[in-house]
Chains A and B, each alone.
Chain A
């Protein structure tokens, strides 16, 4: 009973964090601040939802697969975000500080 309640909380919290990330990607004015929003919530949403599913699966092959997905997402998602921000900076996209006028208000 506890496991069901805990996994229910994890799943709903993961969903909410995902929605927050999606709203964050719209609200932030500049690409780099958007990267801040998506980077953190992307990984946190994956953690919470996969934790909720793992609790539901109990000790089984499915739980092992979920742990693998968890591992890969934890390793690749921040790396992809870093590579993206690096490519953006390399590509000449200036971050919008208050002094330099960034790209237009989206």
Chain B
């Protein structure tokens, strides 16, 4: 049962990675990596049940958060050219 779910997730990871490599625009790549991250969260959760250690769920939890932060950070980098931290420096 867990094997089928993890194989399905691995297939989606492969396809999404292919899109990340092939994606014409940079936004395709960010979307693919975002989807890659959420699938990794699910893979960790399924694997924690597969191997019996329930403690791995914490890692999946942290990974979900870091993935979101990462995507938003890359978006800010792409949208504003720099990280646009506070904006006072380049306003002068």
Number of A positions contacting B (CB below 8 A): 52
CB distance from B13 to the nearest CB of A (A): 8
Known contacts A31-B31, A53-B45, A73-B64: does B71 contact A84 (CB below 8 Å)?
yes
Contact with A along B58-78 (1 / 0, CB 8 A): 101100110110011001001
Which A residue sits closest to B23, measured CB to CB? A106
Secondary structure of the B contact surface, majority rule: helix
Q: Which of B11, B30, B45, B75 makes the CB contact (< 8 A) with A19?
A: B11
Count: A-B pairs, CB below 8 Å: 151
Residues of B within 8 A of A (CB): 1-2, 4-5, 7-9, 11-12, 14-16, 18-19, 22-25, 27-28, 30-32, 34-35, 38-39, 41-42, 45-46, 49, 54, 57-58, 60-61, 64-65, 67-68, 71-72, 75, 78-79
